[in-house]
A = this chain, B = another copy of it.
Amino acid sequence: MDKMNHSSAEAETETIEPLRYLSKGEAAAIETELLRDYRFGQQQLIEIWGQACALAITKAYPLNSLAKKQPTVLVICGPDQNGSIGLVCARHLRIFEYEPTIYHPKRSSHSLHQDFTVQCEKMDIPFLSYLPTEVQLINDAYNLVIDAMLGPDADCANIKEPYPGILATLKQVKIPIASVDVPSGWDVEEPSQDGINPEVLISLTAPKKCSMSFSGKHFLAGRFLPYDIQKKFELNLPDYPGTDCLIEL
């Protein structure tokens, strides 16, 4: 009702600052603060983020909207944190009755990441031992690809195999790609002109600079973020609806 009132509306307009898009350094600083000062655990954050990614997929691609008879999804997981978020996302998608298949070419030696892999294996989620180079096989088998490969920590100028090969394949697929946090191969601060072209982007915590002119469906998943961090980094996050852990920007 307040929004109908002219003076309240004015007051509101004055206080709305634009959403902040993070540099690579700012994104890293927020994560360090969460882990060191707020004593969040990596396992805890990965679970929160992965679950939010699965919920974003259910919003962008509801089960009853999928083109194929089987609700198949290919989840490509990188070696580090972004990959573990993909593993958690796959596990929750299985709970939501999707049929995820995981491609996780390089496994981490950290037990933290290995545990997330075991959780998926024990849930009977299939793992591919290689990615078909014949793109048509991917287009035919899956409704969409979730790109949880490289994330914001990757050094885009020095991506090592097998990831350049996977990116070359993903540039050719015709089914939609949903990227986690930063599309693989993109710089955190610059969208890639000739890189992969995701239809959906799920920004974690706060959006990164590379997503400023993203024209696809853009979700933000970071509702758990303590208010003091939001203030300190002047994030100006939007109000999340109800009890949702994500919002479409």
Contacts and interface: CB of A to CB of B under 8 A. Distances in A.
18 contacts: A37-B122, A38-B118, A38-B122, A39-B115, A39-B118, A39-B122, A41-B41, A41-B43, A43-B44, A44-B44, A91-B224, A95-B223, A122-B226, A122-B228, A123-B227, A123-B228, A124-B227, A124-B228
Interface in A83-117: 91-92, 95-96, 114-115
Nearest to A38: B122
Q: Specify the main secondary structure of chain A where it touches its partner.
A: helix
Interface of A: 37-41, 43-44, 47-48, 51, 55, 58, 91-92, 95-96, 114-115, 118-119, 122-124, 223-224, 226-228, 243
Given A38-B118, A44-B44, A44-B47, 17 more contacts: A37-B122, A39-B115, A39-B118, A39-B119, A39-B122, A41-B43, A43-B43, A47-B47, A55-B243, A58-B243, A91-B224, A92-B224, A95-B223, A95-B224, A96-B243, A124-B227, A124-B228
A49 to B, nearest CB: 11
